[in-house]
């Protein structure tokens, strides 16, 4: 990779998100926290005079080739395989077509149009690696999730990530000038599980839209989303897949009713989200589970909603359980807390950072433990009020402007001090550092 001139000003970033559009509705299909992250960061960078072109795959014939989100933020849809019917697991075979689309865009732009590539998720990293090398600019990569981490914490019945993904991730780790981790724990996982160079790993914590997600009237929020004013509302938000653990919430709710039968008349369990990943291929059967446990009448399934309505749901809730088996950060936890709603979360990945003093961490996914932790919040008004105050205070430190500022610093450093070690042919083929190849 050629070295950018020292002191060169950063004008435009090519941001790559192959498998899911930043314009997609979070909570549906493969859209989730990463979609929110990419779009919010792009907006904040543009307000710092760093233009961002977001490259993503076309998934519908109705999508325009170019969408200007706001001045300085452009989404470019590239044709790579059939528009519909491809799962995330099918996309490695379309990366060549996607990369060709990026090359065509750059070929019609002035020389040196892009100063840096920032890729998100390993599929994008493979394409970003090629683009950065072709254009002679640095590659910054954010994993968001990692196969080796997910495989260490699989939910019952979930399917391990394939070896091909592990190899692809290792290649991107070796190729990137900088690796952006969401938390210090994720940075440690990159070093320990992928042999990443610690000098190239930096932490930039994700943020939250503090103007939208803010405390407000619980009664008004409940009226807006149709929840009784005297309800005890447990709210799960996320994609419906084993990784996210929505079944843990249903089981815990059933145990709470078993322990305290008088709760039945007031308990509402909101499951807000759509099926995703292995949850699409092998539906989790949450309605059937709720019926078997005798609380089918208490569980309300809500499809993904817009961001303003989501904020109302958070404000309406007594507690937001986040029982993920693996989580690089936990955007749902911070959004809920920004609305002044306590969180009960699994003690995994980046959730301890996201939750902080505004919530409760649970080790493992035992039903009894979760029922006890959730009950300890919703059935103790004084404790809940204290956690609500701490939640809002903690979340106030996670604005997107802070994330974008940190990324701008990382970009500048990558341009000034790109990685020096060349990548060997063996590393290109295997993703294994040349020092350990005989």
Residues 332, 333, 335, 336, Cα dihedral to 10°: 110
Residue 230: is its pLDDT beyond 90? yes
Instruction: Enumerate domains of the chain plus CATH numbers.
Output: 12-207+401-436 (3.40.50.2000), 218-395 (3.40.50.2000)
**pLDDT at res. 157:** 75
- Coil, strand, or helix at residue 77? strand
- Coil, strand, or helix at residue 157? coil
Annotated binding-site ranges for Mg(2+)? 314-315, 317, 341
Q: List the single range of 197-206, 215-224, 274-283, 333-342 with lowest mean pLDDT.
A: 274-283
Question: What is the C-alpha to C-alpha distance for residues 156 and 242, in angstroms, rounded to an integer?
Answer: 8
422: nearest Cα among 435, 409, 413, 438: 435
pTM of the model: 0.86
Q: Where are the extended beta strands (E) located within 122-266?
A: 139-142, 178-181, 201-203, 232-237
398: nearest Cα among 346, 326, 339, 338: 338
Question: What is the C-alpha to C-alpha distance for residues 23 and 65, in angstroms, rounded to an integer?
Answer: 13
Residue 78: is its pLDDT beyond 80? yes
- Sign of the C-alpha dihedral computed for residues 389, 390, 393 and 394 taken in this order: negative
Annotated binding-site ranges? 19, 25-26, 30-35, 88, 121, 145, 165, 239, 244, 305, 314-315, 317, 327, 335, 341
24: nearest Cα among 323, 276, 399: 276
**pLDDT at res. 281:** 43
Question: What is the C-alpha to C-alpha distance for residues 374 and 321, in angstroms, rounded to an integer?
Answer: 8
Strands 12-16 and 139-142: unpaired
Residues 277-328: pLDDT tens digits? 544 444 468 999 999 999 999 999 999 999 999 999 999 999 999 999 989 8
**pLDDT at res. 292:** 97
Averaged pLDDT, 255-281: 85
Annotated binding-site ranges for UDP-N-acetyl-alpha-D-glucosamine? 25-26, 33, 239, 244, 305, 327, 335
Q: List the single range of 98-107, 152-161, 196-205, 281-290 with lowest mean pLDDT.
A: 281-290
Run of H or E residues at 36: helix 33-46
Residues 81-132: pLDDT tens digits? 888 877 778 888 899 999 999 999 999 999 999 999 999 999 999 999 999 9
Residues 28-45: pLDDT tens digits? 656 667 888 999 999 999
Question: What is the C-alpha to C-alpha distance for residues 309 and 307, in angstroms, rounded to an integer?
Answer: 5
Q: Percent of the chain beyond pLDDT 90?
A: 76
């Amino acid at each position: 990779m050629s070295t950018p001139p020292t002191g060169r000003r950063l004008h435009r970033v090519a941001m790559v998100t192959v498998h899911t559009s930043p314009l997609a509705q979070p909570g549906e299909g493969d859209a989730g926290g990463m979609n929110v992250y990419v779009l919010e960061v792009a907006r904040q960078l543009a307000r710092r005079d760093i233009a961002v072109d977001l490259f993503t795959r076309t998934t519908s014939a109705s999508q325009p080739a170019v969408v200007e989100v706001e001045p300085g933020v452009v989404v470019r849809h590239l044709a790579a395989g059939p528009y519909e019917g491809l799962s995330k697991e099918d996309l490695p075979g379309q990366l060549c077509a996607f990369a060709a689309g990026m090359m065509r865009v750059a070929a019609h732009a002035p020389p040196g149009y892009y100063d840096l590539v920032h890729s998100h998720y390993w599929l994008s990293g493979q394409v970003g690696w090629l683009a950065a090398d072709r254009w002679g600019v640095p590659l910054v990569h954010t994993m968001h999730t990692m196969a080796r981490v997910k495989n260490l914490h699989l939910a019952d019945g979930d399917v391990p990530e394939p070896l091909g993904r592990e190899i692809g991730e290792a290649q991107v780790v070796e190729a990137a000038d900088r690796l952006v981790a969401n938390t210090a724990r994720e940075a440690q996982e990159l070093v320990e599980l992928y042999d990443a160079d610690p000098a190239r790993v930096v932490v930039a914590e994700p943020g939250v839209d503090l103007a939208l997600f803010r405390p407000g009237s619980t009664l008004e929020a409940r009226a807006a989303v149709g929840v009784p004013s005297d309800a005890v509302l447990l709210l799960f938000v996320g994609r419906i897949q084993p990784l996210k653990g929505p079944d843990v919430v249903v089981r815990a709710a059933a145990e709470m009713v078993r322990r305290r039968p008088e709760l039945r008349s007031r308990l509402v369990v909101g499951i807000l989200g759509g099926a995703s990943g292995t949850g699409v291929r092998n539906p989790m059967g949450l309605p059937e589970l709720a019926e078997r446990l005798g609380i089918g009448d208490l569980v309300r399934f809500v499809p993904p909603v817009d961001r303003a309505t989501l904020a109302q749901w958070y404000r309406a809730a007594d507690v937001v359980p986040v029982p993920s088996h693996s989580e690089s950060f936990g955007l749902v936890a911070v959004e809920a807390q920004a609305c002044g709603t306590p969180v009960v979360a699994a003690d995994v990945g980046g959730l301890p950072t996201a939750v902080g003093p505004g919530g409760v961490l649970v080790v493992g996914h035992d039903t009894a433990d979760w029922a006890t932790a959730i009950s300890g919040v919703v059935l103790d008004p004084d404790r809940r009020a204290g956690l609500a105050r701490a939640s809002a205070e903690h979340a106030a430190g996670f604005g997107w402007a802070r994330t974008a500022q940190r990324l701008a610093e990382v970009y500048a450093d990558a341009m000034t001090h790109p990685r020096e070690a060349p990548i060997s042919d063996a590393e290109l083929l295997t993703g294994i550092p040349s020092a350990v190849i005989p």
